């Protein structure tokens, strides 16, 4: 009897420990909280008293957004529902506002890190406060590390605006999550370089779904004190005999398979890859093989740019994919981390981002104000220099602190972008028009899970 009751008391400890365990695990699972700027300065802009005057069009329920009412076809975006195309009598497609009313006092933004800065990263880097002052729209924002994360956050969240790369914008449109954008309400759209207008990742069925933000290439970065000689080709991170095995890094997303495809375009031209996002059975298998062969060389994959920075600072990684902003931040550290980056000879994957508006946005007027503000010359200059990319608005080039910035980043140099393949969502219907023989994005995701092992 004695033993029984004693053991029972021992077991009674368990629930307490279990509680502790769940508490600890719960704390760990907490993801990055919403960052709400602490600036509580009173809005100097037009205060939104009374109901904002909204056009009926902008109040159209989300269900009228295109593509949401019918299963998205696997075909190309050409077979649009006729209702979204601008009709001949000049009326606007449903969901597209005819004018921007008074601000709602708030706007919620989902963006790549570095696109929305309110001085919390670096007190000098702040273009949100000015916007809040000018429009009275209080900005709250979240950042994401991959397009996949962005897509799912936007799908389930209550954001008004998103900076979507091409591998998210197509999915957002297909799912009916974004509204057509009336570019006439965004005066600064006029100054956007032509090469970025009416592209397959921001215009669907002849209707604009967003405002181009800017573009950049994924670069090859290396530590100059370790890697010698300096690489000029992506093969440096795919070579099984690489002297830097175990210290290579790569981007942790299915879209990285396209980076392997870009290499194959040069090393195995017989595969006939013309678009790294349009891969048929054989091409896809070759790209996946190359990525799998790279697996043992990897120290760790990255999607959180702060972790990639730590990795390079600690020499856990010495060579691999990067963004220009990471190079800039590492070189700005004290003492500077000795890194350099280039666009290798094969060309590169890259991004061309689009600001999109949610189909049932709670703050559509503030959203349009943000769209116009974010592509205004001064903001574009600030973002382009901070993030290290080419601005979409060519007028920004006169305002950058470094007058050479637009030349360095080839803002208006179409030749440079010829071998930069902007992230695009792969689909069964080949993006290069070969018919329905390509691998869809779900197969890319599965392959990526399998590559990581």
Interface with other proteins (CB under 8 A): 2-4, 6-11, 13-14, 17-18, 20-21, 24-25, 27-29, 71-72, 74, 146, 148-149, 151-152, 155, 171, 174-175, 246-247, 253-254, 298-301, 310, 314-316, 428, 440-442, 445, 449-450, 452-453
Nearer to other proteins, 206 or 296 (CB): 296
- Could you tell me how far CA 223 lies from the centroid of its own chain? 26
Nearer to other proteins, 11 or 404 (CB): 11
Least Å from the CB of residue 63 to other proteins: 14
Nearer to other proteins, 43 or 445 (CB): 445
Nearer to other proteins, 198 or 228 (CB): 228
Q: How far apart are alpha carbons 30 and 141 in whole angstroms?
A: 17
Least Å from the CB of residue 266 to other proteins: 26
Least Å from the CB of residue 259 to other proteins: 16
* Strands 161-164 and 106-111, sheet pairing: parallel
Least Å from the CB of residue 159 to other proteins: 16
Nearer to other proteins, 142 or 148 (CB): 148
Nearer to other proteins, 228 or 450 (CB): 450
Least Å from the CB of residue 351 to other proteins: 17
Give 144: exposed, middle or buried? Use CB within 10 Å, 0-12, 13-18, 19+. buried
Least Å from the CB of residue 143 to other proteins: 15
Nearer to other proteins, 316 or 340 (CB): 316
Least Å from the CB of residue 297 to other proteins: 11
Nearer to other proteins, 310 or 345 (CB): 310
Least Å from the CB of residue 22 to other proteins: 10
Residues ≥6 apart with Cβ < 8 Å to 231: 220, 222, 319, 342, 344
Nearer to other proteins, 13 or 41 (CB): 13
Least Å from the CB of residue 252 to other proteins: 8
């Amino acid at each position: 009897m004695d033993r029984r009751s004693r053991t029972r008391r021992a077991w009674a400890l368990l629930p307490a420990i279990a509680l502790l365990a769940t508490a600890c695990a719960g704390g760990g699972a907490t993801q990055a909280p919403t960052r709400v700027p602490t600036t509580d300065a009173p809005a100097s802009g037009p205060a939104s008293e009374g109901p904002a005057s909204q056009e009926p069009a902008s109040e159209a329920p989300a269900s009228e957004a295109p593509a949401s009412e019918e299963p998205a076809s696997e075909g190309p975006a050409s077979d649009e529902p006729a209702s979204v195309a601008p009709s001949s009598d000049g009326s606007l497609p449903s969901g597209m506002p005819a004018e921007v009313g008074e601000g709602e006092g708030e706007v919620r933004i989902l963006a790549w890190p570095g696109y929305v800065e309110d001085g919390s990263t670096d007190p000098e880097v702040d273009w949100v406060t000015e916007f809040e002052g000018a429009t009275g729209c209080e900005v709250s924002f979240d950042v994401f590390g991959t397009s996949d994360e962005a897509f799912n956050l936007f799908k389930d969240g209550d954001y008004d605006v998103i900076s979507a790369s091409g591998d998210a914008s197509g999915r957002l449109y297909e799912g009916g999550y974004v509204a057509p954008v009336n570019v006439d309400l965004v005066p600064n759209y006029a100054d956007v370089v032509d090469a970025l207008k009416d592209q397959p990742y921001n215009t669907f069925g002849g209707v604009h779904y967003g405002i181009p933000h800017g573009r950049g290439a994924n670069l090859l970065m290396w530590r100059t004190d370790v890697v010698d000689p300096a690489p000029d080709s992506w093969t440096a991170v795919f070579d099984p005999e690489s002297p830097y095995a175990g210290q290579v890094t790569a981007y942790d997303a299915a879209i990285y398979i396209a980076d392997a495809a870009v290499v194959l375009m040069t090393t195995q031209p017989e595969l006939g890859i013309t678009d790294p996002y349009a891969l048929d059975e054989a091409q896809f298998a070759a790209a996946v093989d190359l990525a799998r062969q790279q697996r043992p060389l990897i120290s760790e994959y990255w999607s959180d740019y702060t972790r990639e920075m730590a990795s390079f600072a600690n020499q856990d990684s010495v060579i691999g994919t990067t963004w220009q902003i990471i190079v800039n931040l590492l070189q700005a550290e004290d003492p500077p981390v000795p890194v350099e980056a280039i666009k290798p000879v094969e060309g590169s994957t890259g991004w061309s981002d689009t600001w999109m508006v949610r189909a049932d946005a709670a703050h559509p007027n503030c959203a349009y104000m943000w769209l116009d503000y974010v592509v205004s010359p001064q903001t574009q200059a600030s973002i382009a220099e901070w993030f290290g990319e080419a601005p979409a608005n060519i007028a920004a080039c006169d305002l950058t602190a470094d007058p050479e910035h637009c030349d360095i980043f080839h803002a208006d140099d179409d030749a440079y972008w010829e071998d930069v393949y902007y992230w695009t969502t792969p689909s069964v219907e080949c993006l290069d028009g070969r018919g329905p023989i390509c691998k869809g994005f779900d197969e890319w995701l599965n392959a990526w899970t399998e590559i990581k092992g």
